Chains A and B, each alone.
Chain A
Amino acid sequence: MTDSRRFFDDIQVGEEYESPGRTVTETDIVIFAGLSGDYNILHTDAEFMKSSIFGERIAHGLLGLAIQAGLFTRATQPYATLAFVGLRWKFKGPVKIGDTIRVRARVSAKKETSKVDRGVVTVERTVLNQRDEVVQEGETDLMVERRAGG
């Protein structure tokens, strides 16, 4: 069987992808609070949040980050990723219960490393909601395998 994963050699700077959408639910937020232990009132106190600038509970920023990481894997044929090595990320606006988010991504750089079997692919990502407002954006660095003998 051929390996359908995309290797460092196959990925081109400038490639763009857009993921399907995903609706963020109250359940997502409750599970994420339980998993992470982050019970900040921004995410858990519906009454307090009525009087906040957001008017209601908002999703944890890192929940949005985690969801876009999953959406990215649905946006393109999988990379031969060895590791996620880092990110630089900004939270630009709230994700509220019922919002549908998707990720738009563009390969912005490729860098060889001291090891010949791998390289770093930098992907710029924008997380958009159903009104096309940018709610999160940033760059992620992925360590991706090179083709043997590539």
Chain B
Amino acid sequence: MSQPSKFYFEDVVLHGVLETPAMTITEAHVALYAGLSRDDPREAGAVPEILPLCLTTGLGWRVPQPPLAVLAFMGVEWVADAPMRVGDTIHSRSETTLKRSMKEGGVIIEQRQVVNQRGEVVQHGKFTFLVAKRPA
């Protein structure tokens, strides 16, 4: 049987932990990000803090489960614990800590960490999503 193409509210496991593969942050990532946003690095080799936050969303697509059926991204709280440099290799670890069923879909809260090549948590925070329920 083929896998479902989406991961619905019902499929989300409370306290399930997902660990993504890693990726190296390059000059190209910083240049593309800065060109797009004009949120420039403060010095050569520095990584603007919002870039790793953005990269975690794509890393979340590289786990062996279909993408979450997000209806809306509601909010994010985020802390930059330590600076990152070009050449650092990050991955992300996330855990669903809340599932609340609503009339249309459901709210999930995910605690997420960005971890570097030395196993240090360099950023962390929480994402709130409105997720679709499985169509009847």
Name the distance in Å between B70's Cβ and chain A's nearest Cβ.
Answer: 6
Residues of A within 8 A of B74 (CB): 90-91
Does the CB pair B54–A87 fall under 8 Å? no
Q: Classify chain A: how many residues form its interface, as a range.
A: 35 or more
Q: Is A73 an interface residue (CB 8 A)?
A: yes
Complex Cα gap A83–B80 (Å): 8
B-side interface mostly: mixed
Q: Is B37 an interface residue (CB 8 A)?
A: yes
Name the distance in Å between B57's Cβ and chain A's nearest Cβ.
Answer: 4
Does the CB pair A38–B78 fall under 8 Å? no
Name the distance in Å between B89's Cβ and chain A's nearest Cβ.
Answer: 15
Complex Cα gap A67–B74 (Å): 18
Name the distance in Å between B79's Cβ and chain A's nearest Cβ.
Answer: 4
Does the CB pair B33–A35 fall under 8 Å? yes
Complex Cα gap A85–B81 (Å): 7
- Which single member of A73, A84, A87, A90 contacts B38 (CB below 8 Å)? A73
Complex Cα gap A90–B77 (Å): 9
Does the CB pair B80–A86 fall under 8 Å? yes
Most chain B beta carbons < 10 A, residue from A38, A65, A90? A38
Interface residues of B (CB under 8 A from A): 29, 32-33, 36-40, 42, 48-51, 53-55, 57-62, 67, 70, 72-80, 83, 125
